[in-house]
Structure 1
Amino acid sequence: MVEAQELAVLGLTSYEAAAYLALLGRPELAPAEVAARGAIPRQRVYDVLASLTAKGLCLARDGSPRVYAAVAPAIALELLAGERTAQLARQRLEAEAAAARLTQALAPIFAGGRGQSDPLAYAEVLTGPTRIAHRALALARGATHRVHSCITRPMILSNEQNRTFMEAPLGRGLAYRALCDAATVAEPGFAPLLDSLCGQGLDVRLADALPLKMQAFDDATVLLSMQDPAGGPPSFTAVVIHNRGVAAMLNLAFEQLWAGARPYEGGV
């Protein structure tokens, strides 16, 4: 059984489709009968039948009352398909003309925008340990070559968060070097964490002091975490910088610190 909505692809409304299907089942029907068989409101059925007649799907026969008969589907649906195809062709031409016109109008705006640079496109500012932790993990998971870390107190991430953060690149075979100061290694549970990660490929050295917390991802992005200088409970603001020049400079600083640090021998 064909449903009324199946005829919508040929451009009929739901009421027109219902009326045509109702007419197919009888040699002819009066408007009231079409309304009843097609579940069409009585006040709408006359307009619906007039539209079907104009589209060539039914014939009207004068009488008292006027009656309507369906045109055979082989003829009616071929007419509908032809009209629908022509309508789609017109719409395609109209869309192509509109696209060409709008392209010409919008191209200068786009070109002008390329000459503007937004400094915020290169930097993200994060506050709060939860947001910083989530962003750091996303960056670690997105690294493709190497990670350099400077880890110093006070800690932002828990030991478990640090494990997740470090295992993300280590698990994919990336080079990972971490610089820690002695006070950080003395944090409860941190030395055992380092010991287990060293077994996964983490390379650790100890420095006497580190100027700030830093993670450098590949040669493109750095994450700098800074404690609020106002005092009180540890409060951090982090800045993610997507800039190869900044990343190169901080990687050079990391290499200098790394060269002066001593190897981590485990189990402090």
Structure 2
Amino acid sequence: MVGNTEILDTLKSIGLNLYERKIFVALLAKGIATAAQVSEIAGVPRSRSYDILESLAEKGFVVVQPSKPIKYVALRPSEALEKTKENLSRKHSEMVSRIDSLKSSKVLDELENIYNQGFNLVRPSEMTGTLKGRFTINRQLRSVLKDAKSNVHMVTSESGLKDLHQNHLRILKKVARRGVKLRILAPTADRSTVKAMSEIAEIRALKEDVGRFTVVDDDHVFFSLTDESGDESQDVALWANSPHAASNIAKPLFEKLWKNSGTIGK
């Protein structure tokens, strides 16, 4: 097997699976080879090497030579990466176009009706979920925030306030313009962040970091379960669409913290 762990991990980050990574690196080292030859170098089962090489060809990493037996040539890495970028960009544009078409079609109405019918059968205890990764957490939070109707209460950290400013400011501005009341509790943060957030929300200072949670419309609640100083991909949060948890647990805790908080410098 050729290629160190760093190389294989980097190729994984651009969407190649384990066998694809091994075979591509092996073919780079060999230059040109049959499926049997490259499978032996890569340590990949020969029966799998054919479909893996075809996959790499479709993705722009490999060129197929129509000889007997068929041989494969690895493209120069810089060229392969450029082709991959072009393919991903094209597929992304196509998918966005399909989604936009779906959103304006009657199919969406039918899907919404199916969802609403199913939603009425779901018990409140089932409307919960564990969210892993900061991207996933932020995506679900944005989804809930955009439908806020009356109030949003947030307890966060100094870096959490910066994250709100960087990732949620636009949607928070929209809900604030609709008349939704926004209140945020956070430890002392930098002035520019506080100033920007103070234009749309009432912000008060916590004496110390007490964790992170959000209550929306006394219906939805988010609780962060991990230390934010770790890897973003390992962030975990609990989300619940539970009026009981929001109104009887999270909201009273927020009000107590709010009562004991101080003014925050702008």
Give TM-score, length-normalised by structure 2: 0.48
Tell which structure's C-alpha radius of gyration is larger: 1
Give TM-score, length-normalised by structure 1: 0.48
